[in-house]
Structure 1
Amino acid sequence: MNRTLFITLLITFNIAIDQISKVIVRSTMIKGGKGQINVIQDYFQLIWVENKGAFLGMGSDMNPTLRLIFLLILPTIVLAYVMYYIIKTKELDRLSLIAFCCIVGGGIANVFDRIVFGQVTDFFYINLGGVFRTGIFNVADMSVTTGMILLLLTGIFSKKKDTVEDNIA
């Protein structure tokens, strides 16, 4: 498959899955946790909230100008640069390329929400009995997080591979 087509399809897929999930949540749930759905008892729940901030609501209390700069303009510039980087850098391995596409797709999906709705729709919540608990998040957040984890893993394993190759040479 053409590399640019692969990038475009993967980014579009990430955006589409996120936006479809948010449309379903907005049309079928009650906002604010009043209509929470226990998917797996209290461990995994759907709770619809609107987030004016970034990750875990950070920045939601900023004045509107700062929120515009830090949650809309800067992320848009960074996402545009990452898209340029992945299209122009032909040496990226497939896993890094997938990781960057997940980050860009998730980022664009949340920026889209901020532009269209002024806030981001979140709805997933995990609570593993106090051992592990998340804030409320969405599919775009999962895409970005997955991309970051993949980049971290490719960085770790490529360094180990480089070290092994250096020791052999």
Structure 2
Amino acid sequence: MNRNLFITLLIVFNIAIDQISKAIVRSNMIEGAAGEIDVIKGYFQLIWVENKGAFLGMGSDMNPTLKLIFLLILPTVVLGYVIYYIIKTKELDRTSLIAFCCIVGGGIANVFDRIVYGQVTDFFFIRITDSIKTGIFNVADLSVTTGMIMLLFSGVFTKKKKTTVA
């Protein structure tokens, strides 16, 4: 498959899965704890919340100008650069390429929400114990996190070719 087509399809797939899941949540759930769905009793719940900030609601109380800069403009510039980087850098191994596509797809999906809705729809919650639990997150967050973990593993387990100078 053509490399740029692969990149495009993988990014679009990440955006689509996220947006479809959010549309299902918005149309079928009640917002907040009252609409909580216990998927795996006590460990995995669906709880629909609208996040006006970034990760775990950080920045939700920023003034509108700072929100525009830090939650829309800066992420858009960074995502644009990452897209440029993955298209231009032909030496990326497949794992790193997939990882960057997941990060970009998830990032675009959340930026899209901020532009269209002014907030991001979150709905997954995992509780292992009372002290080990996640914040409420969405598929885009999962894509970004998966991409970051893949990049870490790729960096640790991929041996770089060393060139020797004679």
TM-score w.r.t. structure 1 length? 0.93
> Which residue in 2 is equivalent to 1:110?
110
Secondary structure in 1 aligned to 2:35?
coil
What residue identity is the alignment partner of 1:130?
Answer: D
Output the CA distance in 2 between the equivalents of 1:16 and 1:121: 14
Output the CA distance in 2 between the equivalents of 1:37 and 1:131: 21
What residue identity is the alignment partner of 2:77?
Answer: I
Q: Spell out the pairing of 1:85-124 with structure 2 (5 A cutoff).
A: 85-124=85-124
Output the CA distance in 2 between the equivalents of 1:115 and 1:131: 34
Q: Rate the CA distance shift 1:154–1:121 in 2: closer, same or farther, 3 A.
A: same
Output the CA distance in 2 between the equivalents of 1:145 and 1:129: 21
> Residue by residue, what CA displacement relative to the aligned partner does 1:52-75 show, whole Å, maximum 9, x if unpaired?
000000000100110010000000
TM-score w.r.t. structure 2 length? 0.95
Secondary structure in 1 aligned to 2:72?
helix
Secondary structure in 2 aligned to 1:50?
strand
> Which residue in 2 is equivalent to 1:144?
144
Task: Say yes or no: does 1:19 pair with 2:15.
Answer: no
Q: 1:132 offset after TM fit, Å?
A: 2.0
> Which residue in 1 is equivalent to 2:49?
49
Unpaired runs of 5+ residues, structure 1, are none
Secondary structure in 2 aligned to 1:31?
coil
> Residue by residue, what CA displacement relative to the aligned partner does 1:18-72 show, whole Å, maximum 9, x if unpaired?
0000000000000112110000001000000000000000000100110010000
Q: 1:136 offset after TM fit, Å?
A: 0.1
Output the CA distance in 1 between the equivalents of 2:75 and 2:23: 23
Give the root-mean-square deviation of aligned CA atoms.
1.3
> Which residue in 1 is equivalent to 2:30?
30
